């Protein structure tokens, strides 16, 4: 019997020795190959955020082009074909390449820090997810640059998107981009669920989980149950176009409405996948800048869960004018309006928080206030479109365009920009300029409303969506010009954000650990956090740990100081259970992503891609999972 | 911030079984989303069934024998599967190796049987929406069968190498767990594909 | 035709003509259904305005009111926590009641809007990329005819349109009269509406249907019933043969230059089914599905180069000499 030499643990070291040791274990190797192999959630999260914002800027440029075209009647700035590609790319980019990924990205970066662990669950899957997102987005945009970008709308209704009416490869590019981004999103959602369920700091019982983390947990479940729908839909579309299946072909037993049901069963939860993280950001920011915890913690959580469930029962409201039975449609009116109740409850809790709190007017709070004003208006126009008779007039008009921009920009983008100002110090170690921040906010608020409010009216006075031009005698010209003016101001606000970020990366004031005196665990470590996040895993005794005790942080000791280890705790009580080994940097996620990309892109050109595309993927996956002979694999 | 050590977790184990392990939850997550995919495919089938006056379209109801034989074999396979599970919990390497070989062979047999089922299908994928949805559903399940078989084979090989260490038994239990999902998923799909056309 | 002549016609084609397009606004209801919808909308608007204002007011008061002094985030008063709990719960209840109330208001409106009248005048409309085929059907085949892009209906009478599509999904929307309904391939949809007042109402396709979705409009002319009756009888008749030389030349060119391959002019040998029926094209208010107002100049510009006006539309550019174009325009204009 050999008495096993006990490895070095983190209780044997202290202070600088400990942090240096932990850093050397957890850091990503330097250099380009190190960057390709990183499995650090912070590295992957930062990349995800930057890439998603790059797509926001690209999608925003497309919007500016659209607004220039529509600023005057019968404009020849863009041809019909170009405009149709551009509005398709705008919607697809914003929905699939920006809105969902950016929320996931913030979750990837923040959730492990907020729950007090060292890395996200399944770190290599996380890296893989980023590559799939990047490759899918590039695939779409390179295709667009090569004039094979989709032109059938972000929702690609059949029969227009079927081979008969669009014989080009354009809809296939769109459909496969979906597959890339859905794989990425599904991977992240599983990681978030497991991180929140199993890797919370000891003592972080369910009722001590931060509201942002709750929001991301609910969102992850929505992703898991909604995204398979569009996977089935887009795969079936590719099959119809590639090998002549008849899912949507009404001459052979298929039906165009099958597409709409499958698409919107995904499409409605999708907007909550975008909105719910926004509410999580609002809760986090509001608590810090109202200087008190959010009122009604259990109400907010139950509202999040209720919103999540209800969101699966609304999808038919996108199909009110397709000739459905009237009673069914009426029920979907009721359910679509019902979701205003949990959303409203959250807003009431936030208002109560502000009522009692002491507002500190920094940029993050400004964006939260802007969110309340804009989102509530969007929600109310949503209640209007939920009504079947009203919807028969405003469906597919600029009224709906106004509605969803109010809820998406108000409900997700404003909180997101607030979140950028709020967490930039944590991610980079520097503060963004408060002065530029105020200009950013006001330009965004004014620009947004000038751009989108007139669209309510345009829709009511008869302007349909997705039209590349309109005639001069329609009386729409003035409102369109006003809207385009507002759009330019709104676009300017993003230029300002970009300038603020670039300037502050070099010249911003140093942030320190907790510049906002916030309460959650990510502020208990340095800015930016060290690779290991925390030298020792924290222990949580209160819902707002850093307000409860801002001088000392209770921690557990005993984790390895020789290899990567995270602490798994029990689901409800967060009792420590297992010291689980965490993967080292690895090239296999990238290789698997490349193999998968070849498979996906090949399979829109030939079904045989399934045959020759599978072996490389299998090899990559085996390489990924084959034990590398590290000590932790051999126990 | 000052750190105050309140507890030492040094004696905790480094791997666990079932809900104690991270990968178990990951597998649950994947089963949830894949199960949802199956549910939606079933929903699409029932939608097409509802909007078409005749069903199947351009075909007679499918042959019962391949699907039924599969059901029997799937259900029977739970026995060696569970035996492997228990052996893995006991960390009995020899039994686990045998069990994994048996499960690999069963997987291959089922794959061959699935091949027969495809070859004898009552319809082609491009015949009609009925053919399309049948091939899609069968194809989806076959993908799960193939990936699970791949996972099982790799694990089998692993258990014969130097890497057959205790934590690997946890991986075996996850693999066993996933097989149950593949079996369970087949039951409603079989009922749908083989019996709904006979209604 | 010579480039110069074509180019000269284009400015005529793009001159906006005063107010001939017709009304196209949900805020200007001229039909039973659109009127009901607007009333429902007003109720919702008022409720929405009140709620939004209340939220903004509470927000402002909340931000501006005096607070407790010390910055101690966890120093909460149980009194406030409890009261706010009740208030939030109460507001939630109020939201629920309002939502249920609005659902009921909506459903009531829905029932009125979708009410079916058995004695409705029935039209069948088939959507094409990018024009509307309109079939007036009657029990007697002699009273049934086909036209395109323009509907005339009697005022005060329920009209039922049966909607189908020949290709992709379109949507029939004439907001001054009623809400929209999609034309879905493989499915028959129905929409009923009643025009209250005579007038010209513009409609537009409201479901993205491809390249020229933006140029797929139509006109609904509501006429007093006797005027409608006269129009219908007239429209039912075949095209009158031209009596003048230029007209005869135009009629002959229509067949010789291939127009008859796609278009029908009843009473002649032109029997093509791919494009709009042109039997009474001269009496229509617009050309190319609402793209241009009807006039000699626009007719000429359209025929001379349809791809310039509606790029991607299915009408090819036909080679015509300038004299031939004039004859063609003249012939079509008098097909009233």
Q: CB distance from A392 to chain C under 8 Å?
A: yes
Per-residue pLDDT band for B164 (boundaries 50, 70, 90) equals: confident
Is residue B4 in some structural domain? no
Task: Please report all neighbours of A, defined by 3+ CB atom pairs within 8 A.
Answer: B, C
Nearest CA to C261 among C271, C252, C253? C271
In angstroms, rounded to a whole number, what is the distance separating the alpha carbons of residues A441 and B141?
A: 51
Task: Measure CB to CB from residue A576 to each of B12, B34, B48 and give the nearest one.
Answer: B12
CB contact under 8 A, B33 and A227: yes
* Chain A residues 514-573 with a CB less than 8 Å from chain B: 524, 535-536, 539, 550-559, 565, 567-568, 571
Are the beta carbons of C88 and A460 separated by less than 8 Å? Answer: no
Nearest CB neighbour to A376, from listed C18, C55, C107: C55
Long-range contact pairs involving A571-574 (C-beta distance under 8 Å, separation at least 24)? A571/A197, A571/A198, A571/B19, A572/A205, A572/A206, A573/A205, A574/A200, A574/A201, A574/A202, A574/A203, A574/A204, A574/A205, A574/A540
User: Which of A224, A252, A513 is opposite residue B128, by nearest beta carbon?
Assistant: A252
Contact A578 B12 (CB under 8 A): yes
Has residue B40 got a pLDDT over 80? yes
Low-confidence ranges of chain C (pLDDT < 70): 1-22, 68-69
Token pair in block for residue B68: 């039924």
- Tokens at C17, concatenated: 């003509």
Residue in the block written with tokens 């911003």: A508
Of C18, C59, C91, the CB nearest to A369: C59
Cis peptide before B56 (omega within 30 of 0): yes
Q: Can you give the pLDDT at residue A473?
A: 87
Residues of A in contact with B126 (CB under 8 A): 243-246
Q: Using the beta-carbon criterion (under 8 Å), do B125 and A199 form an inter-chain contact?
A: no
A306 touches chain C (CB under 8 A): no
Query: What CATH code is carried by the domain that includes residue B37?
Result: 1.20.120.80
Q: By CA distance, what is C169's nearest residue in A?
A: A159
Task: Tell if the CB–CB gap between A122 and B165 is shorter than 8 Å.
Answer: no
B47 within a domain of the structure (yes/no)? yes
Contacts of residue A197, Cβ cutoff 8 Å, sequence gap at least 6 = A571, B25
Tell me, yes or no, if B60 comes closer than 8 A to chain A by beta carbon: no
Using a CB-CB cut-off of 8 Å, the residues of chain C touching A466 are 208, 213-214
- Extract the tokens encoding C220: 């609904």
Distance from CA of A63 to the nearest CA of C (A): 18
Alpha helices in A148-296 (DSSP H): 170-198, 211-243, 256-290
- Taking the C-alpha atoms of residue A188 and residue A186, their distance in angstroms, rounded to an integer, is 5
Residues 6+ apart with CB under 8 A from C14: A74
**Residue B64 forms contact with A (CB below 8 Å):** no
Which sign, positive or negative, has the C-alpha torsion C14, C18, C23, C27? Answer: positive
Average pLDDT over residues B63-81: 94
The domain locations on chain A are: 15-634
* C59–A548 CB contact, under 8 Å: no
Give residue A635's pLDDT: 57
Check CB contact of B15 with chain A, cutoff 8 Å. Answer: yes
Residue A244 φ/ψ region, left for φ over 0, alpha for ψ in the -120 to 50 degree band, beta for the rest? left
Question: C200 forms bridges with which residues in the sheet?
Answer: C221
Residue A626 CA neighbour count, 13 Å, CB half: 14
C158 — phi, psi (to 5°)?
-60, 135
CA pair distance A107, A220, nearest whole angstrom = 10
Q: How far apart are the C-alpha atoms of C173 and A584, rounded to whole Å?
A: 60
Tell me the residues of chain A between 19 and 78 that have a Cβ less than 8 Å away from chain B: none
Judging contacts by C-beta atoms under 8 Å, the chain A residues touching residue C27 are 460-461
Say which CATH superfamily domain C3-18+238-333 falls into: Cupredoxins -  blue copper proteins (2.60.40.420)
Residue B193 lies in a domain: yes
What is the CATH number that goes with domain A15-634? 1.20.210.10
Q: Among A334, A352, A383, whose Cβ lies nearest the Cβ of C48?
A: A383
Identify which of A230, A154, A172, A210 has the alpha carbon closest to the alpha carbon of residue A408: A154
Measured between beta carbons, which residues in chain B are less than 8 angstroms from residue A576?
Answer: 7, 9, 12
- A392 touches A386 (CB < 8 A): no
Q: What is the DSSP string of C153-197?
A: EETTSEEEEEEEESSS-EEE--TTT---EEE-TT--EEEEEEB-S
Of C130, B42, C186, whose CA–CA distance to A256 is shortest?
C186
The pLDDT, as a whole number, for residue C21 is 53
Nearest to B181 by CA among B77, B43, B68, B46: B77
* DSSP string for A560-584: BSSS-EEEEE-TTT--EEEEEE-PP
Taken in order A133, A139, A142, A144, the sign of the CA dihedral is negative
* Nearest C-alpha neighbor of C152 from the set C201, C117, C114: C201
Are A216 and A196 contacting, i.e. CB atoms less than 8 angstroms apart? Answer: yes
- Report mean pLDDT in 10-residue bins for chain A, 635 residues: 68 92 96 96 98 98 98 96 97 98 98 98 98 98 96 96 96 97 97 98 97 98 97 97 96 97 98 98 97 96 98 97 93 96 98 95 98 98 97 98 98 98 98 98 98 98 96 93 98 98 96 96 97 97 95 94 95 95 96 97 95 95 85 59
Q: Rounded CA gap, A169 and A166, in Å?
A: 8
Which residues 129-158 on chain B approach chain A with CB closer than 8 angstroms? 129-133, 135-136, 150, 154, 158
Taking a C-beta distance cutoff of 8 angstroms, is the pair B169, B95 a contact? no
| Among C306, C307, C133, C12, CA closest to A81 | C307
Domain count, chain B: 1
Asked if A558 reaches chain C (Cβ–Cβ under 8 Å), the answer is no
Residues of A in contact with C180 (CB under 8 A): 321, 392-393, 395-396
- Partner-chain contact A252 B19, CB within 8 Å: no
Residues in chain C with CB shorter than 8 Å from the CB of A159 are: 167-169, 185
**Number of neighbouring beta carbons within 10 Å of residue B51:** 17
Closest residue in chain C to residue A79, using alpha carbons only = C311
Helices (H), A357-433: 363-386, 388-394, 398-408, 414-428
CB-defined contacts A:B, below 8 A: 203
Nearest to A537 by CA among A520, A524, A551, A527: A524
Cβ separation C84–A295 shorter than 8 A? yes
Whole-number percent of chain B with pLDDT over 90: 88
Q: Is B26's CB within 8 Å of A225's CB?
A: no
Q: How far is C113 from chain A (nearest CA, A)?
A: 7
Q: Write b or e for each residue in B55-84: b if 16 or more Cβ atoms lie within 10 A of its Cβ, otherwise e.
A: bbbebeebeeebbeebbeebeebeebbebb
Burial of A164 per CB tally in 10 Å (0-12, 13-18, 19+): middle
Binary contact (A257, C184; C-beta < 8 A):
yes
pLDDT digits (tens, 9 = 90+) for B83-99: 999 999 999 999 999 99
The answer to whether residue B6 is domain-embedded is no
């Amino acid at each position: 019997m050999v008495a096993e030499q006990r490895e070095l643990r983190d209780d044997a070291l202290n202070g600088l020795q400990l942090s240096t040791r932990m850093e050397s274990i957890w850091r990503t190797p330097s250099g380009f190959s190190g960057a390709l192999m990183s499995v650090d959630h912070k590295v992957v999260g930062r990349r995800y955020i930057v890439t998603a914002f790059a797509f926001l800027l690209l999608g925003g440029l497309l919007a500016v082009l659209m607004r220039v075209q529509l600023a005057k009647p019968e404009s020849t700035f863009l041809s019909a074909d170009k405009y149709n590609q551009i509005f398709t790319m705008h919607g697809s980019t914003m929905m699939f390449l920006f809105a969902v990924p950016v929320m996931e990205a913030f979750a990837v970066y923040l959730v492990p820090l907020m729950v007090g662990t060292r890395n996200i669950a399944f770190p290599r899957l996380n890296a893989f997810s980023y590559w799939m997102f990047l490759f899918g987005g590039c695939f779409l945009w390179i295709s667009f640059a090569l004039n094979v970008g989709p032109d059938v709308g972000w929702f690609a209704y059949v029969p227009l998107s079927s081979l008969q009416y669009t014989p080009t490869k354009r809809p296939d590019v769109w459909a496969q981009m979906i597959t890339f981004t859905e794989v990425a999103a599904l991977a992240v959602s599983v990681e978030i669920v497991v991180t929140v369920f199993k890797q919370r700091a000891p003592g972080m019982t369910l009722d001590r989980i931060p509201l942002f983390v709750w929001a991301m947990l609910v969102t992850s479940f929505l992703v898991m149950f909604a995204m398979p729908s569009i996977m089935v839909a887009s795969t079936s579309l590719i099959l119809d176009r590639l090998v002549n299946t008849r899912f949507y072909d009404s001459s052979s037993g298929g039906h165009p409405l099958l597409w709409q049901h499958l698409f919107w069963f995904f499409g409605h939860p999708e907007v909550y996948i975008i909105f719910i993280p926004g509410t999580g950001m609002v809760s986090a920011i509001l608590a810090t800048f109202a200087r008190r915890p959010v009122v009604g913690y259990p109400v907010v959580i139950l509202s999040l869960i209720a919103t999540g469930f209800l969101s699966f029962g609304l999808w038919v409201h996108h199909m009110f004018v397709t000739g459905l039975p009237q009673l069914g449609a009426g029920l979907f009116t009721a359910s679509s309006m019902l979701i205003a109740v949990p959303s409203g409850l959250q807003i009431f809790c936030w208002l109560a928080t502000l009522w009692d709190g002491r507002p500190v007017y920094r940029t993050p709070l400004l964006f939260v206030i802007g969110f309340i004003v804009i989102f509530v208006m969007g929600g109310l126009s949503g209640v209007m479109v939920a009504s079947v008779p009203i919807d028969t007039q405003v469906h597919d008009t600029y009224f709906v365009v106004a509605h969803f921009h109010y809820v998406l920009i108000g409900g997700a983008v404003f909180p997101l920009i607030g979140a950028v100002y709020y967490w930039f110090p944590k991610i980079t170690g520097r503060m963004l300029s408060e002065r530029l921040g105020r200009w950013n906010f006001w330009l965004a608020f004014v620009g947004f409303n000038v751009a989108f409010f007139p669209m309510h009216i345009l829709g009511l006075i008869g302007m349909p969506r997705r039209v590349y031009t309109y005639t001069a005698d329609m009386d729409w010209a003035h409102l369109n010009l006003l809207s385009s003016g507002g759009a330019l101001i709104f676009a300017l606000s993003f230029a300002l954000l970009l300038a603020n970020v670039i300037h502050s990366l070099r010249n911003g004031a140093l942030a320190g650990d907790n510049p906002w005196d916030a309460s959650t665990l990510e502020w208990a470590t340095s800015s930016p956090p060290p690779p290991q996040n925390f030298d020792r895993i924290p222990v949580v005794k209160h819902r707002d740990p850093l307000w409860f005790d801002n001088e000392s942080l209770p921690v557990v000791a005993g984790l390895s100081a020789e290899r990567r280890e995270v602490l798994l705790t029990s689901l409800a009580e967060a009792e420590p259970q297992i010291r689980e080994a965490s993967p080292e940097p690895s090239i296999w996620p990238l290789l698997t992503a490349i193999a998968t990309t070849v498979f996906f892109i090949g399979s829109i050109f030939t079904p045989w891609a399934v045959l020759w595309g599978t072996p490389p993927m299998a090899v990559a996956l085996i390489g990924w999972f084959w034990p590398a002979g590290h000590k932790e694999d051999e126990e | 911030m000052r750190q105050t050590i309140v507890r030492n977790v040094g004696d905790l184990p480094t791997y666990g079984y079932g809900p104690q392990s991270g990968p178990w939850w990951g597998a649950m997550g994947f089963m949830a989303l894949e199960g949802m995919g199956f549910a939606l495919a079933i929903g699409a089938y029932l939608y097409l069934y509802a909007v078409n006056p005749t069903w199947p379209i351009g075909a007679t109801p499918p042959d019962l024998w391949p699907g039924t034989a599969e059901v029997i074999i799937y259900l029977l396979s739970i026995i060696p599967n569970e035996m492997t599970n228990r052996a893995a919990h006991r960390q009995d390497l020899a039994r686990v190796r045998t069990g994994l070989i048996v499960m690999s062979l069963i997987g291959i047999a089922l794959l061959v049987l699935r091949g027969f089922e495809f070859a004898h299908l009552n319809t082609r994928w491009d015949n009609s929406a009925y053919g399309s949805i049948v091939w899609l559903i069968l194809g989806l399940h076959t993908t799960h069968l193939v990936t699970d078989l791949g996972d099982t084979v790799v694990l089998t090989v692993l258990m014969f190498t130097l890497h057959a260490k205790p934590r690997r038994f946890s991986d075996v239990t996850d693999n066993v767990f996933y097989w149950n999902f593949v079996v369970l998923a087949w039951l409603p799909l079989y009922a749908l594909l083989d019996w709904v056309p006979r209604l | 035709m010579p480039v110069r002549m074509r180019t000269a016609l284009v400015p005529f084609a793009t001159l906006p003509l005063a107010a001939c397009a017709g009304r196209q606004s949900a805020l200007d209801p001229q039909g039973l259904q659109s009127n009901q919808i607007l009333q429902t909308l007003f109720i919702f608007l008022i409720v929405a305005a009140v709620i939004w204002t209340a939220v903004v007011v509470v927000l402002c008061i909340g931000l501006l009111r005096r607070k407790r002094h010390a910055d101690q985030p966890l120093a909460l008063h149980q009194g406030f926590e409890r009261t706010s709990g009740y208030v939030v719960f109460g507001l939630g209840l109020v939201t629920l009641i309002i939502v249920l109330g609005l659902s009921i208001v909506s459903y009531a409106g829905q029932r009125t809007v979708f009410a079916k009248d058995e004695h409705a005048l029935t039209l069948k409309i088939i959507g094409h990329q990018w024009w509307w085929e309109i079939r007036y059907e009657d029990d007697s085949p002699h009273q049934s005819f086909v036209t395109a892009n323009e509907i005339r209906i009697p005022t005060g009478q329920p009209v039922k349109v049966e909607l189908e599509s020949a290709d992709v999904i379109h949507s029939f929307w004439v907001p001054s009269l009623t809400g929209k309904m999609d034309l879905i391939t493989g499915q028959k949809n129905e929409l009923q509406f009643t025009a209250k007042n005579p007038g010209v109402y513009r409609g537009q396709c409201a479901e993205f249907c491809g390249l020229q979705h933006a140029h797929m409009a139509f006109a609904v002319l509501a006429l007093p019933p006797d005027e409608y009756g006269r129009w219908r009888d007239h429209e039912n008749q075949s095209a009158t043969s031209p009596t003048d030389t230029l007209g005869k030349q135009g009629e002959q060119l229509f067949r010789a230059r291939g127009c008859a391959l796609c278009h029908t002019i009843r009473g002649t040998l032109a029997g093509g089914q791919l494009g709009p029926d042109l039997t009474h094209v001269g009496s229509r208010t617009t050309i190319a599905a609402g793209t241009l107002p009807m006039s000699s100049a626009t007719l000429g510009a359209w025929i001379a180069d349809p791809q310039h006006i509606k790029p991607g539309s299915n009408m090819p550019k036909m080679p015509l000499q300038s004299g031939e174009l004039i004859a063609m325009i003249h012939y079509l204009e008098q097909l009233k």
